[in-house]
Amino acid sequence: MTERAAPSTIRDVANRAGVSTATVSRVLAGIGNPKAETVGAVMAAVEALDYRPSSVARSLRMKRTFTFGLVLTDIANPFFPELVKAADDAARQAGYSIVLSTSAYEEHRAVHYLNLMADRRVDGLIVASSQVAATSWEWLAHAPLPSVVVNVEPVGATTAVITSDNEGGMRLATEHLIALGHRRIAHVTGSFTFSAASVRLQGFRAACAAAGLDPDTMPVIDGDGQFGGGEAAARRLLAEFPDITGVVCYNDITAIGLLAGSRAIGRSVPADLSIIGCDDIAAAAWVSPALTTVAQQKGEMGRLAVEHLISLLDNPDQEQAASVLRLPMLLRIRETTGPAPAASRPR
């Protein structure tokens, strides 16, 4: 094989079966009442020629690609796999497929990738990010195709947003520590370019206040949402605030970094220090002690995003409203949280 044979076309099939291309198209689509004889001839030709319809041609003609574009910031971010998988399943089940595109974290590239997907004429767009800037919202609002934004705080949102109850989730995490008797609790934030970072900080403070702990006296340390940020936080925290017995982290990766950093310094978890994360990525169950965390319903988000898109497509008259759906986060108690050390407990 030196020259690769061109794929056979519907015309090849029609010729071989002695029918028109229209008939082939109908038979394959299961439309009308073709004679059994015709069906046989067509199928035989299809088989013989190994015919597979070009979805490029089909898309051009039907003005639909039966494809959704899923653009995400970073495929290496362990938050996404579960979301992608669920979206893929849901799409597939409805006769769509998903094409993935990674946007990196730069905003100008984001719009670039959105355009690329639109050029592909995908039928809808799912934007899964941790930060969506004004220009992107703008673009989405005027785009010639429907979209859903996932996993983002809806500041400036112009489309449907599906996200987690970040405030409530963090409250849940903080309350868990408080219930265990902790009174000196710190928070390691994410980068504030992530739209959820301030909301989660808010949740932390709210839970403290509700329990009668003055939030302003609780240390808040800047992290970056990465392993390194958590690791560094461990050093700062234990040097500057040695009385802290519990830490609520912006996300799991930060918590895992903090866990490693604490161990390096010689504090044992959870005996000396309790740590709780957020997201419930796969690695949370892999570290030891296994990380207690509040889980985002990642699969659910992906599934719902696809379903929303499909409903938007099915009712083209319905306006694409800027709605917000917040999924609750779920406490997953594992091994990094325990009772506050007796020594540091008041009374």
Give the footprint of a second copy on this chain (CB under 8 A).
1-7, 52-57, 59-60, 63, 65, 75-76, 78, 81-82, 84-85, 88, 97, 99-102, 115-116, 118-121, 144-146, 227, 253, 256-257, 259-260, 263-264, 282-283, 285-288, 290, 316-320
Q: Which does 82 bind (CB under 5 to 8 A by kind): a second copy, DNA, none?
A: a second copy
8 A C-beta contact, residue 170 and residue 293: no
- Encode 252-275: b = buried (16+ Cβ within 10 Å), e = exposed: bbbbbbbbebbeeeebebbebbbb
Using the rule CB under 7 A, give the single segment among 20-28, 67-75, 78-86, 275-283 that binds DNA. Answer: 20-28
When binding is defined by CB under 7 A, the residue of 1, 5, 33, 212 that contacts DNA is 33
Total residue count of the chain as it appears in this document: 347
3-class secondary structure, 128: strand
Query: How many C-beta atoms surround the C-beta of residue 326 within 10 A?
Result: 15
Using the rule CB under 7 A, give the single segment among 54-62, 78-86, 102-110, 291-299 that binds DNA. Answer: 54-62
Using the rule CB under 7 A, give the single segment among 6-14, 221-229, 242-250, 300-308 that binds DNA. Answer: 6-14
Q: Which does 201 bind (CB under 5 to 8 A by kind): DNA, a second copy, none?
A: none
**Packing angle, helices 298-314 and 80-93, rounded to 10:** 40
CA 45 – CA 318 distance, rounded (Å): 43
Give the count of alpha carbons within 13 A of 337, CB side only. Answer: 28
Q: Which is nearer to DNA, 60 or 179 (CB)?
A: 60
Q: Which does 33 bind (CB under 5 to 8 A by kind): a second copy, DNA, none?
A: DNA
Shortest Cβ 25–DNA spacing (Å)? 3
Phi-psi region of 11 (alpha: psi -120 to 50; beta: other; left: phi over 0): alpha
CA 320 – CA 309 distance, rounded (Å): 10
CA 296 – CA 318 distance, rounded (Å): 29
When binding is defined by CB under 7 A, the residue of 15, 25, 97, 101 that contacts DNA is 25
Q: Which is nearer to DNA, 32 or 316 (CB)?
A: 32
Q: Which is nearer to a second copy, 58 or 326 (CB)?
A: 58
Nearest residue to 182 (alpha-carbon basis) of 269, 243, 265, 267: 243
Task: Tell me if 48 contacts DNA by CB under 7 A.
Answer: no
Q: Which does 156 bind (CB under 5 to 8 A by kind): DNA, a second copy, none?
A: none
Q: Which does 321 bind (CB under 5 to 8 A by kind): a second copy, DNA, none?
A: none
Task: Tell me if 18 contacts DNA by CB under 7 A.
Answer: yes
CA 130 – CA 153 distance, rounded (Å): 8
User: Under rule CB under 7 A, which residues in 63-92 are in contact with DNA?
Assistant: 63
